[in-house]
A and B are shown apart, each in its own frame.
Chain A
Amino acid sequence: MSLLDITGLNRHFPIRNVWGRRTGWLRALDGVSLSIAKGEILGIVGESGCGKSTLGKTISGIHPPSSGSVRFEGHEIATLSPSAGRAVRRNLQYCYQDPGASLDPRWKIGTSLEEPLIVHTDMSRADRQARVHETLRAVNLPERHLDLYPHEISGGQQRRVGLARILMLRPSLIILDEPTSGLDVSVQAVVLNLLLELRARFDLTYLFISHDLSVVRLFSQRIAVMYLGRVVELGPTEQVFAAPAHPYTKSLLSAVPIIGGRRIVDSFALEGEPPSPGAIPTGCRFRTRCPHATPLCASEDPPDRPLTDGRLVACHHADSIA
Chain B
Amino acid sequence: MVDLLSVTDLTVGFATENGTARVLDHVSFAMRPGEIMGLVGESGCGKTTLARAILGVLPNNAAIASGSISFAQTDLLGRDTAAIRGRDITFIPQDPFGSFSPLFSVGDQIGELMRWKSPDRAPGDTGYTRTRRRADAARIQAALAAVQLPDIERLLRKYPHELSGGQRQRVMVAMALLPEPKLVIADEPTTALDVTIQAQILKLLRQLATERGASVLFTTHDLGTAWEICDRVTVMYAGQEAETAPVADFFARPRHPYTAALLDSLPTQGAALLGIPGDVPSPFAPPPGCRFHPRCPRATDLCRASHNETAEPAPGHFVRCHHPNEWPIQDGGPAS
Show 28 A/B contacts (Cβ-Cβ < 8 Å), sorted by A.
A47-B195, A47-B197, A48-B194, A184-B42, A185-B42, A185-B223, A185-B265, A186-B262, A189-B265, A189-B273, A193-B275, A211-B194, A213-B195, A219-B267, A251-B196, A252-B196, A255-B198, A257-B228, A258-B224, A259-B227, A259-B263, A260-B251, A260-B252, A265-B203, A268-B199, A270-B196, A273-B164, A273-B167
- Which residues of A have CB within 8 Å of B264? 189
Q: Is A141 an interface residue (CB 8 A)?
A: no
**Using an 8 Å CB-CB cutoff, how does the interface string of A254-278 with B read, 1 for contact, 0 for none?**
1111111001110010110100000
**Using an 8 Å CB-CB cutoff, how does the interface string of A268-306 with B read, 1 for contact, 0 for none?**
101101000000000000000000000000000000000
Q: Are A273 and B267 in contact (CB under 8 A)?
A: no
Measured in the bound complex, the distance between the Cα atoms of B43 and A186 in whole Å is: 11
Q: Is A1 an interface residue (CB 8 A)?
A: no
Which of chain B's residues has its CB closest to A188's CB? B265
- Which residues of B have CB within 8 Å of A213? 195
- Which residues of B have CB within 8 Å of A268? 199-200, 203
- Which residues of A have CB within 8 Å of B43? 184
Q: Is A243 an interface residue (CB 8 A)?
A: no
Q: Is A88 an interface residue (CB 8 A)?
A: no
Q: Is A101 an interface residue (CB 8 A)?
A: no
- Which residues of B have CB within 8 Å of A48? 194
Q: Are B228 and A265 in contact (CB under 8 A)?
A: yes
Interface size on B (CB < 8 Å)? 41
**Using an 8 Å CB-CB cutoff, how does the interface string of B250-292 with A read, 1 for contact, 0 for none?**
0110000000011111111100011111010000000000000
The number of inter-chain residue pairs (CB within 8 angstroms) is: 106
Q: Is A154 an interface residue (CB 8 A)?
A: yes
Known: A255-B195, A270-B200. 4 other contacts (CB 8 A): A47-B196, A189-B274, A271-B148, A271-B200
- Across the interface, B196 reaches (CB within 8 A) one of A156, A255, A257, A260, namely A255
**Which residues of chain A (196-221) have a CB below 8 Å from chain B?**
211-215, 217-219
Q: Are B223 and A259 in contact (CB under 8 A)?
A: yes
Measured in the bound complex, the distance between the Cα atoms of B206 and A184 in whole Å is: 25
B55 to chain A minimum Cβ distance, whole angstroms, is 24
Chain B interface residues toward A at CB < 8 A: 42-43, 148, 164, 166-167, 194-200, 202-203, 206, 221-225, 227-229, 251-252, 261-269, 273-277, 279
Which of chain A's residues has its CB closest to B166's CB? A273
Q: A185-B265, A189-B265, A265-B229 are in contact. Are A256 and B224 (CB under 8 A)?
A: yes
Measured in the bound complex, the distance between the Cα atoms of B251 and A35 in whole Å is: 39
- Which residues of B have CB within 8 Å of A80? none
Q: Are A259 and B224 in contact (CB under 8 A)?
A: yes
Q: Is A192 an interface residue (CB 8 A)?
A: yes
Which of chain A's residues has its CB closest to B251's CB? A259
Which of chain B's residues has its CB closest to A217's CB? B269
Q: Are B228 and A264 in contact (CB under 8 A)?
A: yes
Measured in the bound complex, the distance between the Cα atoms of B251 and A154 in whole Å is: 31
Interface centre among A156, A213, A257 (most CB of B within 10 A): A257
- Which residues of B have CB within 8 Å of A188? 265, 267, 275
- Which residues of B have CB within 8 Å of A189? 264-265, 267, 273-276
Q: Are B228 and A185 in contact (CB under 8 A)?
A: no
Measured in the bound complex, the distance between the Cα atoms of B305 and A306 in whole Å is: 64
B190 to chain A minimum Cβ distance, whole angstroms, is 10
Which of chain A's residues has its CB closest to B228's CB? A257
Measured in the bound complex, the distance between the Cα atoms of B42 and A312 in whole Å is: 39
Q: Are B273 and A218 in contact (CB under 8 A)?
A: yes
- Across the interface, A47 reaches (CB within 8 A) one of B194, B266, B276, namely B194
Which of chain B's residues has its CB closest to A45's CB? B195
Q: Is A187 an interface residue (CB 8 A)?
A: yes
- Which residues of A have CB within 8 Å of B279? 154, 156
Measured in the bound complex, the distance between the Cα atoms of B197 and A48 in whole Å is: 11
- Which residues of B have CB within 8 Å of A271? 148, 200
Q: Is A190 an interface residue (CB 8 A)?
A: yes
- Across the interface, B275 reaches (CB within 8 A) one of A190, A212, A270, namely A190
Measured in the bound complex, the distance between the Cα atoms of B263 and A265 in whole Å is: 21
- Across the interface, B273 reaches (CB within 8 A) one of A193, A251, A258, A260, namely A193
Measured in the bound complex, the distance between the Cα atoms of B43 and A241 in whole Å is: 30
Q: Are B228 and A263 in contact (CB under 8 A)?
A: yes
A210 to chain B minimum Cβ distance, whole angstroms, is 11
Measured in the bound complex, the distance between the Cα atoms of B264 and A214 in whole Å is: 14
Measured in the bound complex, the distance between the Cα atoms of B220 and A257 in whole Å is: 14
Which of chain A's residues has its CB closest to B192's CB? A48
Q: Are B225 and A257 in contact (CB under 8 A)?
A: yes
Which of chain A's residues has its CB closest to B167's CB? A273
Which of chain B's residues has its CB closest to A156's CB? B279
Q: Are A257 and B227 in contact (CB under 8 A)?
A: yes
Q: A189-B273, A268-B203 are in contact. Are A214 and B228 (CB under 8 A)?
A: no
- Across the interface, A185 reaches (CB within 8 A) one of B167, B251, B262, B269, namely B262
- Which residues of A have CB within 8 Å of B164? 273
Which of chain B's residues has its CB closest to A192's CB? B273
A196 to chain B minimum Cβ distance, whole angstroms, is 9
Which of chain A's residues has its CB closest to B41's CB? A184
- Which residues of B have CB within 8 Å of A186? 42, 261-262, 265, 275-276
- Which residues of A have CB within 8 Å of B206? 265
Measured in the bound complex, the distance between the Cα atoms of B199 and A9 in whole Å is: 32
Q: Are A215 and B267 in contact (CB under 8 A)?
A: yes
B24 to chain A minimum Cβ distance, whole angstroms, is 19
- Which residues of A have CB within 8 Å of B266? 185, 214, 259
Measured in the bound complex, the distance between the Cα atoms of B169 and A273 in whole Å is: 13
- Which residues of A have CB within 8 Å of B202? 264-265
- Which residues of A have CB within 8 Å of B224? 214, 256-259
